[in-house]
Amino acid sequence: MGEVDRLMTELRKLPVDGRGSVMAKLMELAGDGDSRTGVLFGWLRLCTKGVLKGEDFEPHLPTLLSFWRDVYGQARPMQRSASELDWMIDEEYFGIRNRAGLLLDLMGYLPVRQVEDCLREGLSLADPRLKLFAALSLLRHSQYVDPAGLEMIAASHEVRIVLWEELRRLKMEPLMPQRWSAPEELAASDLSRWVSHEMELGVPPEEIELMGRFPVSVEGYTADAYLFRFREYPKPWEPGEGWMAGTAGPFRDGEAIGSCWSAFEQWDSLSPKEHFIKLHGTVGGGG
């Protein structure tokens, strides 16, 4: 177990009035750029579990805000159109994006009077992932987010499903732009998230298109699952595989009850129905 993990485990066991020295040690570790991501992630996890509260961070807010000013200063000049993906998956930007996202997410649990301006800066960026974390943190603080900003976030396949899931947790589903809450739009985003996982392609698809709907039965509930074709974004070191088939859904009451899947087979190798049966195993209410 590394030092950061050891201190996070210790932090869980301490009473509120006994955390100061451990928080200080973690903040010292966070001063090292190599350890900062791990510390921020650990703090965020403890905040989401209710272990840490905003007051635990009060002595360290100036340093955390300096971390934000640093990463915001790096991220802002690198922003380009949200409709383009190449700059968001660029190796140089990846680490900046990750640290900025963790800080914006963490700010949702820090005293709002100190972090609101930072969250507004995050919301002003073009990157839909950073806009997402900024918007959700503002909403956790019961602060206003322009519907146009939520529309721009929801339009992104990469983060739409996360926006929807978090709005549901916050009991704020009506804030989700109606167009993007349709099951097929959530399914496209869910598949994009699955494809982006480091154990799959590691980056979102460059394009994703709905190619068919097929009724399936899951947990005694019959609804449409969705067949997509998607195209891997070509990287400098490999050209990508062209259009491939993948499935997602079905959804029940806005929640996925089926798993996303792709064997990364060429789209033109089978008919849409053949792709679906190969990936999903069934069509219709039967087995």
Q: Which tens digit of pLDDT belongs to each residue from 113-124?
A: 999 999 999 999
Show the CA angle centred on residue 121, arms to residues 113 and 179, nearest 5°. Answer: 105
List the one residue out of 199, 196, 129, 138 whose CA is nearest residue 162: 129
Are 40 and 99 contacting, i.e. CB atoms less than 8 angstroms apart?
yes
Where are the chain's structural domains?
53-179, 193-280
Alpha helices in 107-219 (DSSP H): 112-123, 128-140, 147-154, 160-169, 183-196
* The model's pTM: 0.93
pLDDT band for position 235 (cuts 50, 70, 90): low
Q: Is the pLDDT of residue 267 over 70?
A: yes
Query: What does the alpha-carbon distance between residue 229 and residue 212 come to, in Å, rounded to a whole number?
Result: 10
Q: Is the pLDDT of residue 286 over 50?
A: no
Query: What does the alpha-carbon distance between residue 214 and residue 283 come to, in Å, rounded to a whole number?
Result: 6
Task: Tell me the average pLDDT of the chain.
Answer: 93
**Tokens of residue 265, six digits:** 């087979």
pLDDT band for position 220 (cuts 50, 70, 90): confident
Which pLDDT belongs to residue 175?
A: 98
Q: Is the pLDDT of residue 239 over 60?
A: no
pLDDT 10s digits, 9-24: 999 999 999 999 999 9
CA 224 centroid distance within chain: 25
Q: Is the pLDDT of residue 218 over 70?
A: yes
Which pLDDT belongs to residue 217?
A: 87
Are 208 and 180 contacting, i.e. CB atoms less than 8 angstroms apart?
no
Q: Count Cβ atoms below 10 Å from residue 13 Cβ, excluding itself.
A: 10
Q: Count Cβ atoms below 10 Å from residue 73 Cβ, excluding itself.
A: 10
Residues 182-189, mean pLDDT to the nearest whole number: 97
| Partners of 230 in the β-ladder | 208, 244
pLDDT 10s digits, 100-112: 999 999 999 999 9
Percent of residues, the chain, with pLDDT higher than 70: 96
Residues 74-95, mean pLDDT to the nearest whole number: 92
Q: Is the pLDDT of residue 285 over 80?
A: no
The half-sphere exposure of 44 on its side-chain side, counting CA atoms within 13 A, is 20
Cα–Cα distances in angstroms (integers) from residue 144 to residues 65, 120, 137, 149, 155, in the given order? 21, 10, 11, 11, 19
Instruction: Point out the least confidently predicted range of 43-52, 63-72, 99-108, 214-223.
Output: 214-223
Residues 208-222, mean pLDDT to the nearest whole number: 91
Query: What does the alpha-carbon distance between residue 214 and residue 236 come to, in Å, rounded to a whole number?
Result: 36
Are 210 and 228 contacting, i.e. CB atoms less than 8 angstroms apart?
yes
Q: Are β-strands 221-231 and 207-218 bridged in parallel, bridged antiparallel, or unpaired?
A: antiparallel
